[in-house]
Structure 1
């Protein structure tokens, strides 16, 4: 038995023991699919220190490379939109833009699709191609189409998929717009986060079909949603829980902060909701429902101690939170009162018993998306 086959079986055993891998068909896919073939270009290892987070390349000749490809970890494969591990020596201090998702999340999502033989699947976000390969193993490559916005990432995935014997339909383009072919899909699965489920996905899914996607906001609380498309072209569903997180689709990335608005004007009032409440994942998700395009940052205002700031760059609205003894004071400016909206939404959620995200419901129509919760 080859070393990597042993590693594949050990990975499948770990995923099963942790409750992520349940169906025998998906276990076979994990055991038969060499993840390391999708990481031949290396990966970036995170390096933490006193300063900003750094990333250093780990290449196939490194003894740590092969075992790492069979850990249950997401492995960063691209930095800053273009830089791959083979491009640099030393460290880079920029943000990751592509990765190989942790296998436990990959197989959980694939199992949540509830696939049957003969179903056609559209994957949004090919990435390295590993999840695409698992789909091909389960359904056959002829039933799998995958869209990747980055042409170079798509090209590398095509090579890796060919190396393991799979030739699915691969498209380099904007997956948020769906695909040009006429026949609808039975399932759509997204391996990137979205601010809202695109209406184009509803049009590309047959009635009764399902969409699985991670819905996020710019304060980076996100959850996995599973929706069923109805005969009327709308989709409804629920969140599955588990604090699932993906990199946002590039068209949905937040606007650069640039020069912040003037944070010294505005109106002040006492607030019952301090900024620390947003440290909680679910509370932050609720806050995003009120202010989906707001970003949360800490900045020094007037040379003082760093303060919590919530800002919607596009709208020009902002709120600064500061402590005054035992009280919290919110100073707000711009066309909208961001903190008023956040505080009101969080208060209503708490009055309803602070339901968990598995009790939230999502509805998508061609006109937009709405999210509510059950009491």
Structure 2
């Protein structure tokens, strides 16, 4: 057995032991797709010994590249929308914009998609093409349509898939619009996060079909939702839990914060809800439901740490900090953001603080709601 084959088998074994790879058809599909083929352009790893988040490139001829390809980790493949590993010597500190998702999450999602032989699948977010290839190995390339937003990313995925002799329908464009020409689909799966599930996906999925997507927002907490499409053009279903996190689809990324509001303005009061609710995954998800347009930043002012929520569209803001052993909030703008967080958090606690998997997401032409 070659080093590559051994590393691949070890990855398969880890996913089976970990429970993300659960059934024989998907085991065979995962075994048929070598991950390193989709990472020949290299990847970025976090730089060691830096006080900030920095990235270093790992190329195909670098020591540790092959082993890295078969780790069960997400590997960053693009930074700042255009920069790939071959463009960088040394370190870079910009934000990642594309990655190869950790294989265990890819296979967990594919298992959760509940496909059957002959199903047609629409994939939103081709990325490197690895998950696309696994779908093709399971269902046949003729049953898979995949859309990638970034033309350069799509070109690399097409080349990697072609190298394996796999030729699904690959499109470049806004995946939030789906692809009506191949509809209806039995399944839709998104490998990017969305704030709200686009209604186009529902319209292009047959009644009884499933949509698997990560729903989240600008406070950085997200969960995997599995929605069933209904005859009336709506869709609903549970969150599956587990705190799944993907980069948001680019049209769903937050607007620039711009000039910050005057944090000395506004009304100040004591609050029983501290900023620890923004540091816990589930309670941050609750806060995000309450203030979906808010973004968070942390400032050091007057010798104290302030967590600030800002809604760029409305101009509303809230600054929360600890003072003299108590929590204080100062708010400004037309909508008191922290009041909304307190109210939503209080209702969740009154309901017994249910776990994410007890939540239900419903999407109609009028919008999306999440309830427990």
TM-score by length of 2: 0.98
| Partner in structure 1 of residue 195 of structure 2 | 195
How many angstroms apart in 1 are the aligned matches of 2:370 and 2:275? Answer: 23
| Partner in structure 2 of residue 279 of structure 1 | 279
State the Cα deviation string for residues 182-236 of structure 1 (Å, max 9, x = none): 5310000000000010111111101000000000111111000000000001001
How many angstroms apart in 2 are the aligned matches of 1:32 and 1:172? Answer: 26
| Partner in structure 2 of residue 323 of structure 1 | 322
| Partner in structure 2 of residue 308 of structure 1 | 307
| Partner in structure 2 of residue 45 of structure 1 | 45
Q: Which moved more, 1:357-366 or 1:291-300?
A: 291-300
Give the superposition deviation at 1:127.
0.2
User: Does the 8 A contact of 1:8 with 1:30 survive in 2?
Assistant: no
Matched residue SS, 2:231: coil
Matched residue SS, 2:296: strand
Matches within 5 A, 1:290-369: 290-301=290-301, 303-369=302-368
User: Does the 8 A contact of 1:148 with 1:175 survive in 2?
Assistant: yes
| Partner in structure 2 of residue 78 of structure 1 | 78
Matches within 5 A, 1:133-282: 133-181=133-181, 183-282=183-282
Deviating above 2 A after TM superposition, structure 1's stretches of 4 or more consecutive aligned residues are 48-51, 303-306
User: Does the 8 A contact of 1:199 with 1:367 survive in 2?
Assistant: no
User: Does the 8 A contact of 2:225 with 2:240 survive in 1?
Assistant: yes
Matched residue SS, 2:60: coil
| Partner in structure 1 of residue 66 of structure 2 | 66
Matched residue SS, 2:371: strand
Give the superposition deviation at 1:3.
2.4
RMSD of aligned residue pairs (Cα, Å): 1.0
Listed as ranges, the gaps of 5+ residues in structure 2 are none
User: Does the 8 A contact of 2:75 with 2:101 survive in 1?
Assistant: yes
| Partner in structure 2 of residue 35 of structure 1 | 35
| Partner in structure 2 of residue 111 of structure 1 | 111
How many angstroms apart in 2 are the aligned matches of 1:86 and 1:182? Answer: 36
State the Cα deviation string for residues 141-194 of structure 1 (Å, max 9, x = none): 000000000001001000000001100000000000111305310000000000
User: Does the 8 A contact of 2:304 with 2:321 survive in 1?
Assistant: no
How many angstroms apart in 1 are the aligned matches of 2:277 and 2:290? Answer: 15
Matched residue SS, 2:91: coil
| Partner in structure 2 of residue 89 of structure 1 | 89
Give the superposition deviation at 1:306.
3.0
Give the superposition deviation at 1:24.
0.8
Count of residue pairs the alignment pairs up: 372
Matched residue SS, 2:217: coil
User: Does the 8 A contact of 2:305 with 2:321 survive in 1?
Assistant: no
Matched residue SS, 2:179: coil
How many angstroms apart in 2 are the aligned matches of 1:354 and 1:183? Answer: 40
